[in-house]
Chains A and B, each alone.
Chain A
């Protein structure tokens, strides 16, 4: 007589089923007793393809055995790292202040221009403030790392 206690759910794709099964310790040791002989897969009791798939999926997400060793720096290297970070902060601060200065100057420029235009010719001033309905041109490209084969498009056909 063959006693079979194999648990073979049709397709275990949902991880919650997996966990529930693990709790009861049934799927984890899904064993087949055939004539009193214990057959067990090399990988801890997973002997069917769909369960193996879920195990693979879960292990891809889990950190087990995949985390590298902690980065332990000696004092000299730690100081070097801090110096690099400090230099980066100084560098960025300098860039930001420069940008802010230029923006402020550009704003002043626009303001001056408009004030003068108002004095010189109110009509042109009105025209310069008129809101036009226009679309962002499709030909305008975002800069990329490497240029296309023809860097510049000499055709004027509007899209």
Chain B
């Protein structure tokens, strides 16, 4: 043990550059691995911790009306279900609404509760996290705390067709209704403001049902059953609901994206580190053949020599892993801040032993395996053979690029000779660049489809976007449509309304109705089969179809408003709003289950039209017939800005990380090459080769593997990136991605990658200046 330790220490001292490079690579892998594990092993559990702490409900339902009759029916229905553990009914008001948020708008279904009532609920507690001394105003979920929305400032909330200005009194945490991702957003008013809103009549009275279940996993089915019972009893009643599974997933989309990317990058960096370690060990054995032979001659066993290498690399690995894990704790608060901007649930950074141990185990295990597999060849070294002449590593079978016949210029020909005789170098460069190509293609994809223009991302995640959405009562529909047809600012208007239906024997589905799907902007909404044309047709989410074994051509029974009808599945969609529980009907198809009471119309307006002014004009023109208007553009901007910021940070971080990795890997390879070829370079210098020629020759020798791996990497990654993204986003219901792969960006990034690598090799090769032919002669 002591002898092996001495050899390991001597090896580390002799190869400081190699040691630093391996430490940096392992450190980066440990950093990413630990961050990923912290996010995936503990961060998500934070939702459950808060859920337990707030004694939160598993199913929330907000139903029109708070009369004794309604509440009595709800109590009986809930109590009659044996899955109910406990429940609470609260009087509230509810309405669709908006308020300014992040340079855009927050748009959602608001549930208004009086402060005292909200604070004393036995189920679904809330926690005030910030509060001023104000006694009259509004409390908002802490997610919406921004520079503009702060305690003491005023916020204008559109409630249905009215606008109300409140002073912000404070912020609170609510686990099931604390974000736009929850379907329901809780808004707490002081008593005076609550009563004022009641008097105003813009938000109808409602009952908020909060139900805790004996078995949490039943939440989806329970929600569907409860809504089905309510709609059977009160056809066409307005209600909105959420449940544990949907809320816990949708509040953690950013965490899922971020941890997915971190895991991918962590394993890429680890792969590169392992390739570098293997390459180093093979090179070490070749260069130190005589030394190893001498040690064997002195009586060292192969096992001791292999163990010394294991000891050397494991020491470095654990040192680097400890530093990397330490840095991950320094970075975690920043990651946490980004995550909270989307989850809206506070998280306290604390020491997590399990992710640390898993990181250490993964890194230690993979490095040990790599070292053992690469160093096994030490067993084959015979001391006498090694001491006499070393083991010939040159292949005498082939003289690559014979100068006598090649037409290539001398520097290029000599560079190619080096390339062709350096399989290990080429493999290391190839694997590194292949891995980094995927990072580059991913960065390009996100830049093009999220950061520069979010439309493709929105088409995939949101489904359909337009400029404005106006919800009108069906009685006013004809007049509204005539107005839209006659208004020159309206390019296109079409019915696009969402409501809930139930799959009989299955889950609650979010149904989207359209009078004519050929009018919608996102024709990729159905990616297999076709949009529904006839009243007996339905398109369902691919994820739901897969989970339930439905195929195109199958029948599915849907219930709403107390009626059940069978529909023929004619295609698959993948809207992720409801995490893969969606369906599409024609209006006529839906109205087999009951008539619409409200109809939302999506409008495409001429460029330059002031959407807010247009919406206001329509509200004034149609008065109470317009339920609500939404500026879709600003609503999306408000929510999307969080994702754009997150993605921008991820893209910049991955590109910087790529540059660091390339630099360190090339540093190690160039250093190894210069050490191995010091004698050759000395000879060439003595023959009259200049330093510039040798630097060029060295740099050119890296080019074939660089060019080929980047070309192959970019081509393959461009082809597989969409399927990979679909795999990655499967959790939120996406099964097929159609992101635009930016060929121009990829080509430019590929050229940039190669140029960067070329310049890096040139710079790293400057050490050739120090190789003097005199030193060669002095060796004699």
The answer to whether A and B come from one shared complex is no
Q: B residues bordering A, Cβ < 8 Å?
A: none
Q: A residues bordering B, Cβ < 8 Å?
A: none
